[in-house]
Amino acid sequence: MTVSLFFQHLANGISLGALYALIAIGYTMVYGILRLINFAHGDIVMVAAYVAFYGAAMYALPWWLAFPLAILLTAGLGMIIERAAYRPLRGVPRIQLFTSAVAVSFLLENLGIVVFSGRPKAFPRPAFLDKPLHVGDVIIISYTPVAVAVALILFGGLLYIVHRTKVGMAMRALSKDIETTGLMGVDTDRVIMIAFAIGSALAAAGGILLAIKFPQINPLMGVVPGLKAFIAAVLGGIGNITGAMIGGFLLGIAEIMIVAFFPQLAGYRDAFAYTILIALLLFRPTGLMGEVEPEKA
Amino acid sequence: MRTSITRNRILTVLALAGFVVFLVYAQTNWDAYRLRILNLCAVYTIFAVTFNLIYGYTGQFSLGHAGFAAIGAYAAALLTMSPEQKAANFFLAPIIPLLRDVEWPFLPALLVGGTLAALASLLIGWPALRLRGDYLAIATLGFSEIIRVLFVNWQRITNGSLGLKGIPDHTNVYWSWGAALVTIFVVKRLVDSSYGRALRAVRDDEVAAQALGVRLFTHKMMAFMLSSFFVGVAGGLMANLISTIDPKVFMFFLTYQIVGITVMGGMSSLTGSLVAAVLYTVFLEVLRPIESPFDLGPLHIPGIPGMRMVLFSTLLLLVILFYRQGLFGQREFSWDGLLNTLARLHRRVTGLWGRTPPPSTVEKGEQ
């Protein structure tokens, strides 16, 4: 393998990783606060891609209007899901909450099939994301730096919110103890809803990037990236935003590199992430940056 | 008390005999379509009852059902297909010699399928059953996807994404309902035994159960492997029923359906799993027309593909949110319960006719 080919693969890996990272952050945020694996997260990704598709292709909106609009609407969807399917279950055993998340995911997928039809649709790709860029011998399409930039900017924004604003402080408090935080005068329901809105908005950004990267969308498109993003979140240490970011990029790069170095394993690419997950859970369940958490009854 | 036990036994035997008569009648008189539904009812019953064992009774949320069913289905299919059928199927790459010429009877094929599924569950259960709730769910879901990816890639064993066609249609209502009854019987005996009480203790409070000397891991593993064994058998029945399988049949969608059926029937109620599985299968068929276009007088109503699953998943969500115990909650069918209900109905009906009801013959407190 030549050096330039290596960098070529690295660029591909980074562009895939940016995607996983964006989706993983939403997973990790919700998990950090509610201790819930929001199983429907991957399907929120799918809905965002469709909303963007309808905005850009059906209503012929320019992309700079269609995409932010899709992100906004998806954030709203995240809030609705939280309000309708998760809030009524506060205080019941967590596994019930997770069952509800599975049901929401199942519902979104089926609704997607009915409303958007099961047939894949071609996603309109903004032309400026298709330009080849030459960096030395390596050719990358302009999508890659844009995706990475989007991921980093949103990541920075999220860090700012979590660490520098009052809502962020409330979120951090919630992740320690919801009840006590409520007693201290924080409107916990509102903060949880905001966390869902932010998480879904990030998922939406990931979904649009996903749709641009593989310019085809279908109602089940979110499931596998969603699962992999969750694995990325576990890899980084679930509940840790920086960890999710790093885990996302690592997973993306690793997936591409495995196939690059062992082409005969290409067919098994999708199994790779799950194998990482199982190994990780065996040997280092806290992930790279997670902290050990005492077992709560 | 003793008389009621004897009475209940007699009633059970009579009910089983009646059911067998019904099966014989159905197998000889029903057309292929209705038989297929009846068989599917049994397969889904096994799926739901086994999911109930691992989730409802033991509290371990495993999302691996589709993967274990796939193992059982492929094993049974490959073992029962004739060498000619296999040759016709594997035209891209020849099947491995080990499997090329085998053609087994149905029973050993099913058992091998179940055993392989149980071994696979040992493989994933060993790391995953130490995990808490939702982690376990993701790990098993991941495992189930690994199995699917392997089956897509093992061209010379599974024929890859082309799948297998022309699997012999060994499954009839005796096989399917026989397996379903055996599953219900075994699971029922297990959950009513001291092991079953230990499983419930694990479900309700792991720390307390451990303090009382219940070996968590052993108990979880036992429930998991037993459940996977029967799932594997059900997969084999399914393969020899629908006669065409490919890896797509065993996507996570299948697992979600099983979760839905079990939750709606009621966690920790085998009666609930059975009733919900039958209702689900039947309603799915009854509602089939809404997915294809039809004419209502002058009105042309276009079919909405996928609508049934939307209804099902909406219903599932509503059950989880507002009616968490499902159809049966933790209750089971019993003759005493049935007879009491009938007696109450009888009294109510006689009351409607204006006669004074006979002095209560039923135990007090039944009102």
ipTM for the predicted complex: 0.86
* N-term to C-term CA, chain B: 21
Please tell me the predicted confidence (pLDDT) of residue A24: 94
What confidence tier does B272 reach under pLDDT thresholds 50, 70, 90? very high
Nearest to A13 by CA among A252, A274, A287: A252
What is the mean pLDDT of the segment spanning A135-147? 84
Question: Are B127 and B41 found together in one domain?
Answer: yes
What is the band of A292 on the pLDDT scale with cuts at 50, 70, 90? low
Reported confidence tier of residue B297, pLDDT bands at 50, 70, 90: low
Which of A85, A89, A275 minimises the CB distance to B146? A275
Residues B284 and B350 both lie in one domain: no
pLDDT at A297 over 50: no
Confidence class of residue B147 from pLDDT cuts 50, 70 and 90?
very high
> B37 and B148 share a domain?
yes
* Mean pLDDT, rounded, of chain B: 88
B164: tokens are 């297998």
Q: What is the dihedral of CA A110, A115, A117, A123, to 10 degrees?
A: -110
Strand partners, B245: B164
Residue of A nearest to B146 (CA): A271
pLDDT at B367: 38
Tell whether A295 is covered by a domain: no
Q: Is B348 in the same domain as B259?
A: no
* Secondary structure of residue A132 in the 3-state scheme: strand
DSSP A126: P
| Chain A residue whose CA is closest to B59 | A95
Q: Please report which helix (H) or strand (E) contains residue A139, including its range.
A: strand A138-141
**Same domain, yes or no, for B178 and B269?**
yes
* Tens of pLDDT, residues A77-104: 999 999 999 999 988 887 788 889 999 9
pLDDT higher than 60, residue B365: no
C-alpha B110/C-alpha B107 separation (Å) is 5
Task: Give residue B71's domain range.
Answer: 31-295+304-333
**What string of DSSP letters covers A200-211?**
HHHHHHHHHHHH
Claim to verify: residue B338 and residue B327 sit in the same structural domain: no
Q: What count of Cα atoms within 13 Å lies in the side-chain half-sphere of residue A145?
A: 11
Q: With contacts defined as CB-CB under 8 Å, which chain A residues touch B134?
A: 36-37, 94-95, 98
| Residue A117 binned pLDDT confidence (cut-offs 50, 70, 90) | confident
Q: Is A94 part of a structural domain of the chain?
A: yes
Gap from B128 CA to chain A (nearest CA, Å): 7
pLDDT band at B92 (very low <50, low <70, confident <90, very high): confident
- CATH code for the domain of A8: 1.10.3470
pLDDT at B119 over 90: yes
Q: CA angle at residue B227 from B41 to B44, to 5 degrees?
A: 10
Residue type, B195: Y
The verdict on B220 and B365 lying in the same domain is: no
pLDDT over threshold 80, residue B155: yes
Looking at the structure of chain A, the number of domains it has is: 1
Tell me the CATH number at B175. 1.10.3470
Burial label, B304 (beta-carbon count in 10 A; 0-12, 13-18, 19+): middle
- How many angstroms separate the Cα of A254 from the Cα of each of A259, A260, A262? 9, 10, 12
> Does residue A297 sit within a domain?
no
State which residue of chain B sits closest to A97, comparing Cα positions.
B320
- Average pLDDT, integer, range B112-120: 97
Whether the CB-CB separation of A122 and A216 falls below 8 Å is answered with yes
User: Would you say residue A288 lies in a domain?
Assistant: no
The amino acid sitting at A124 is P
| Chain B contact probe: residue of A110, A221, A280 with most B CBs at under 10 A | A110
A60 located within any domain = yes
Nearest to B267 by CA among B21, B39, B49: B49
- Looking at residue B109, its pLDDT comes to 95
- Indicate if the pLDDT at residue A295 is higher than 50: no
The pLDDT score that the predictor gives to residue A124 is 85
Name the domain count of chain B: 3
Q: Is A250 within a domain? A: yes
Residue B109 sits in the same domain as residue B233: yes
At which residue do the structure tokens 């309603």 appear? B283
pLDDT in tens, A31-48: 888 888 888 999 999 999
A170 pLDDT higher than 90: yes
Span A250-257, average pLDDT: 93
What sign for the dihedral angle of Cα B286, B290, B291, B294? positive
Give whichever of A120-129, A242-251, B125-134, B296-305 has the largest mean pLDDT: A242-251
Q: How confident is the model at residue B226 (pLDDT cuts 50, 70, 90)?
A: very high
Residue A213 pLDDT > 50: yes
Cα–Cα distance measured from residue A166 to residue A172, given in angstroms and rounded to the nearest whole number? 10
Mean predicted lDDT score pLDDT of chain A: 88
Residue B361 shares a structural domain with residue B326: no
Q: Which residues of B touch A (CB under 8 A)?
A: 59, 61, 63, 124, 127-128, 131-135, 137-139, 141-143, 145-146, 149-150, 152-153, 205, 207, 252-253, 256, 259-260, 263, 304-307, 309-310, 312-314, 316-317, 320-321, 324
State the smallest CA–CA distance between residue A276 and chain B in angstroms: 10
Say whether both B91 and B176 belong to one domain.
yes
What whole-number distance in Å separates Cα of residue A127 and Cα of residue A142? Answer: 10
How many angstroms separate the CA atoms of B67 and B200, rounded?
25
Q: Using an 8 Å CB-CB cutoff, list chain A residues near B142.
A: 227, 231, 273-274, 277-278
A2 vs B54, residue with greater confidence: B54
Determine the structural domain holding residue A129 and report its residue range.
3-283
Percent of chain B predicted with pLDDT > 70: 93
Q: Please give the average per-residue pLDDT across B138-142, as a whole number.
A: 88
Convert the pLDDT of each residue in B315-325 to its tens digit: 999 998 998 88
Residues B167-200 have pLDDT tens digits of 999 999 999 999 999 999 999 999 999 999 999 9
Largest distance between two CA atoms of chain B:
79
Which is nearest to A127 in space by CA: A116, A142, A139? A142
Q: How confident is the model at residue B366 (pLDDT cuts 50, 70, 90)?
A: very low
The DSSP output letter for A182 is H
Chain A hits for B149, Cβ within 8 Å: 267-268, 270-271
- Are B306 and A114 in contact (CB < 8 Å)? yes
Q: Of A252-261, B46-55, B114-123, B233-242, where does mean pLDDT reach its minimum? A: A252-261
Condensed to tens digits (0 to 9), the pLDDT of residues B199-211 reads 999 999 889 999 9
Average pLDDT on B12-17 reads 92
Per the CB < 8 Å rule, is B134 touching A37? yes
* Residue A38: inside a domain: yes
Residue A287 or A248, more confident: A248
Closest CA to A27 of A212, A251, A254, A269: A251
* One domain, residues B364 and B311: no
CB contact under 8 A, B146 and A271: yes
Give the range among A261-270, B23-32, B36-45 with minimum mean pLDDT.
Answer: A261-270
Nearest-neighbour CA in chain A from B116: distance (Å) = 20
Q: In B56-205, at which residue ranges do the beta strands (DSSP E only) sit?
A: 164-165
User: What was the pLDDT predicted at B136?
Assistant: 86
Kindly determine whether residue B61 and residue A85, on different chains, have CB atoms separated by under 8 Å.
Answer: no
- Together in a domain, B20 and B95: no
pLDDT at position B34: 92
Could you tell me which residues come within 8 angstroms of residue A148 by beta carbon, excluding any fewer than 6 positions away? Answer: A14, A15, A18
Q: Which of A114, A220, A264, A268 to mutate to test the interface with B (most CBs of B within 10 A)?
A: A114
**Which residue would you say has higher pLDDT here, A279 or A149?**
A149
Q: Do A103 and B145 touch (CB under 8 A)?
A: no
